[in-house]
Amino acid sequence: MESAIRVRALRKTYQGTVAVDGVDLDVPRGEIFALLGPNGAGKTTTVEILEGYRKRDSGDVSVLGADPGTATARDRVGIVLQGTGEFDELTVGEVVRHFARFYPRPDDPVAVIERVGLKDKARARTHTLSGGQKRRLDVALGIIGRPELLFLDEPTTGFDPEARREFWQLIRELRTGGTTIVLTTHYLEEAEALADRVGVIARGRLIAVDSPARLGHRESAEATVSWRTAEGAPASTRTATPTRVVSELAAEFGGEVPALTVSRPSLEDVYLEMIGDVA
Ligand code: ATP
């Protein structure tokens, strides 16, 4: 099947600063792909080249089968930028209806406003919205054109935990409807909750691409088994065979092992180790 995104040997420099240094990437249709990386790693530059907002120095880029520089895919792509749009005196409903007119087959503005959780604010002027509500409006404008591919640059910055969960649900629904989604985020739990695959970018290079569960060989990494001894003291051991350690402990205790936990490195652990290696 055709990739939604295909990138080969992408490079971009700004006055001698190398922002993107030879990135290859394929995102299949229907995938949620998260791009992770520290500040200044080159995420926004990469994504804005894919969106057609910035010009590359060299490399091949195909977005929905077209070169984003030539913008033939524009109607089929939805974009939520990092910065929030300012619409002053216009209401939420007016802004969403206005943007709907830019697209050949827009979604229903009322339904979109409800989906992003702004139904109660449809008549509110946009300058009265909270930071999280403005971000929801940005998302509404990103999806009003029924995009086949949606770019989200740090979409949930400023969201409270409940709003973030609701947003994740919305993204999953879009994926179920067939939308391919590329997002950048600094929230590792967001990447873990949403992404089919994550790419880690550091100093302009894509240093790893894998599912959140497998990134940095997490699944097979040494586990830490912790418990409390018969005397009540905390104990722990690192092991490549946690199942064996737990069954030995179970035999020793003759049943339940007090305060037993088995943990492997978190996505954050492997991510920090990866970017630390590059720094
Ligand atoms: P953040 O997580 O902070 O948003 P990022 O990974 O999105 O960072 P980019 O914004 O792509 O990083 O920046 C990559 C590098 O390119 C940085 O060193 C940055 O200073 C530089 N850069 C980005 N945009 C410009 C520009 N318009 N002019 C000059 N340098 C730029």
Contact 154, 82 (CB under 8 A): yes
Q: Which residues line ligand 1 (CB under 6 A)?
A: 14, 17, 19, 37, 39-45
CB atoms within 10 A of CB 252: 11
**What's the Rg (C-alpha) of the chain?**
22
| Closest ligand 1 atom to 20 CA | 14
- Using CA atoms, how far apart are residues 262 and 245, in angstroms rounded to an integer? 10
Taking only the tens place, the pLDDT of each residue in 139-184 is 899 999 999 999 998 888 878 888 889 889 989 999 999 999 999 9
Nearest CA to ligand 1 atom 24: 45
CA–centroid distance, 50 to ligand 1, in Å, is 15
How high is the pLDDT of residue 75?
Answer: 79
Contact 68, 46 (CB under 8 A): no
Rounded mean pLDDT of the chain? 91
Taking only the tens place, the pLDDT of each residue in 93-145 is 999 999 999 888 999 999 999 998 899 999 999 999 988 888 889 989 999 99
Nearest CA to ligand 1 atom 18: 40
- Using CA atoms, how far apart are residues 85 and 129, in angstroms rounded to an integer? 12
Return the minimum-mean-pLDDT range out of 18-22, 70-74, 118-122: 70-74
How high is the pLDDT of residue 212?
Answer: 94
Q: Tell me: pLDDT of 84 over 90.
A: no
- The secondary element (H helix, E strand) that includes residue 194 is helix 188-194
Contact 222, 189 (CB under 8 A): no
Q: What is the DSSP letter of 205?
A: E
Exposed e or buried b for every residue in 73-90, given b needs 16+ CB within 10 A? Answer: bbbbbbbbbeebeebeee
Strand partners of residue 14: 17
Pocket-testing residue among 45, 82, 184, ligand 1, by greatest number of atoms within 8 A of Cβ:
45
Nearest CA to ligand 1 atom 21: 19
How high is the pLDDT of residue 74?
Answer: 76
Q: Is 113 left (phi over 0), alpha (psi -120 to 50) or beta?
A: alpha
| Closest ligand 1 atom to 41 CA | 6
How high is the pLDDT of residue 10?
Answer: 97
- Using CA atoms, how far apart are residues 254 and 229, in angstroms rounded to an integer? 13
Torsion of CA 123, 125, 128, 131, to 10 degrees: 90
Token pair of 159 as six digits: 């969201």
CA–centroid distance, 17 to ligand 1, in Å, is 9
